[in-house]
Structure 1
Amino acid sequence: MGRRSDAPRKGDLREQALLDAAEALLEHTSLEELTVEAIAKGAGISRGSLYFYFGNKHEVLAALVERTMRTIRAEADSTAQDATSPPVDVMERAVHRVEQVWREHGTVMRAAVDYSALHPVIGSAWNDTVDVFARTMSQVLKRAGIPEEKGPGGAAALARALCWMTERNFYRAACSPEDDLARATATTVDIWRRVMES
């Protein structure tokens, strides 16, 4: 009987290398200027090998966005599982974690917003992730005393509006030439807190 290995397969490592290369290139190259040649070169493979994994640079970006969205959905899962901490503390940790993802993957996050209307797969991944977080945060709002009612004042509606506000606040901060993410976090936390404590 052969030994089973949990080590990543060579193909998986190459795919991750392509995504890493694309993310690094997006730091200083727009998607329009990004080429499959540059991505392949950055990953240390041939252009032909890239096509074994992705059909074009848009598929690379879609996979890169999906990889980053998994990080945010994992945070939503972690937030949903914390039913013992005070709701305001849960909210603050969630917002700070979102800030961290923007710091680590801001290039991908900005690209996801910029191209979500042009590329349905990217738009769907982005919208679905915000919706997942909104559902999680509606539970946090309910624990804070916001009623579970239909209409604009219910926990679900408020969570959805606040999550999209958070997304836009971080996006604008990440596009700023100054490092405004910390300020965006402080303002976002304050708004969430005021809603939860009202």
Structure 2
Amino acid sequence: MGEERRGSRRRAPTKGDLRERAILDAAEQQLDSEGSEGMTVATIAQAAGITRAALYFYFGSKNEVVAALVERTVTTLRAEIGAADVAGAAAAGDAVRQGLAQTARLWREHGTVMRTAVELSPTVPAIDAAWRSAVLALVDTFRAVAERAGVPAGTGPRDAAAVVAALVWMTERSFYQAIVTGGELDEAAATLSHVWLAALGITAD
């Protein structure tokens, strides 16, 4: 039992972990201030307080930095949705609203990263893989909500998996457009909640 407890303890971050975290934090700050096109390996290194050579020890290119930043952000997104216990919420309608509110908050806090993920996914495979993994995780979570609301389980075009996949991709695009155009994320979330509830046949309170 003592061995299990010791084995389950969280490992303290190493110097390398802290350096990598600093690089990713600097990259996110660069995205906020300069955008993807204005950000370079040199500007990331300078913002992180290291040399370009030191940065190349951890990442081989700017796109590798961005891919790691996207992966960190989508890991947070999956954790936030999981912590909200969306799939286990008592009422399907509450689960939908809660999940969309959490997603909107992540877009608000990390919008430039998520916008960059959407824009670079078609051309950078590592970023596409990280972003798609988040979308698939959300589909899996909300599929359980849809099935609980009465949408048939299965693989058909009107079954829960397909319906939820379409709704999740619509949600991604709606929040992206809100970020790009300076729209209100809360208003987008309210509209999306209305569409989700209607599509899943859930009566709004």
TM-score, length basis structure 2? 0.88
Question: Given the alignment of the two structures, is residue 149 of structure 1 paired with residue 139 of structure 2, yes or no?
Answer: no
1:99 Cα deviation (Å)? 0.3
* 8 Å contact from structure 2 (residues 87, 142) kept in 1: no
| Residues 172 and 5 of structure 1, relative CA distance in 2, 3 Å threshold | closer
* 8 Å contact from structure 1 (residues 79, 136) kept in 2: no
1:38-79 deviations in whole A, cap 9, x for unaligned?
Answer: 111111112211111111111100000000010122234345
1:6 Cα deviation (Å)? 4.1
Measured in 2, the distance between the counterparts of 1:110 and 1:143 equals: 32
Give, as a single letter, the amino acid of the residue that structure 2 aligns with 1:139.
A
Measured in 1, the distance between the counterparts of 2:40 and 2:118 equals: 20
- Which residue among 174, 179, 194 is the counterpart of 2:179? 174
Greater alpha carbon shift after TM alignment, 151-160 vs 91-100? 151-160
Two-structure CA RMSD over aligned residues (Å):
1.8
1:133 Cα deviation (Å)? 0.7
Q: Tell me the secondary structure at the aligned position of residue 146 of structure 1.
A: coil
- Which residue among 164, 184, 191 is the counterpart of 2:188? 184
- Which residue among 6, 14, 20 is the counterpart of 1:9? 14
Question: Given the alignment of the two structures, is residue 193 of structure 1 paired with residue 197 of structure 2, yes or no?
Answer: yes
Question: Given the alignment of the two structures, is residue 28 of structure 1 paired with residue 33 of structure 2, yes or no?
Answer: yes
1:135-174 deviations in whole A, cap 9, x for unaligned?
Answer: 1111100001111133222111110000001000000001
Identity of aligned residues (%): 46
Give, as a single letter, the amino acid of the residue that structure 2 aligns with 1:156.
A
Unaligned runs of 5+ in 1: none
1:119-142 deviations in whole A, cap 9, x for unaligned?
Answer: 001011111211111111111000
* 8 Å contact from structure 2 (residues 27, 44) kept in 1: yes
Name the structure 1 match of 2:6.
none
1:81 Cα deviation (Å)? 6.6
Name the structure 1 match of 2:5.
none
Q: What number of residue pairs does the alignment pair up? A: 194
TM-score, length basis structure 1? 0.91
Unaligned runs of 5+ in 2: 1-8
Measured in 1, the distance between the counterparts of 2:31 and 2:159 equals: 39
Give, as a single letter, the amino acid of the residue that structure 1 aligns with 2:196.
W
Question: Given the alignment of the two structures, is residue 125 of structure 1 paired with residue 130 of structure 2, yes or no?
Answer: yes
Measured in 2, the distance between the counterparts of 1:65 and 1:5 equals: 23
Q: Tell me the secondary structure at the aligned position of residue 152 of structure 1.
A: coil
Greater alpha carbon shift after TM alignment, 15-24 vs 124-133? 124-133
Measured in 1, the distance between the counterparts of 2:89 and 2:158 equals: 25
* 8 Å contact from structure 2 (residues 139, 164) kept in 1: yes
* 8 Å contact from structure 2 (residues 146, 164) kept in 1: yes
1:34 Cα deviation (Å)? 1.1
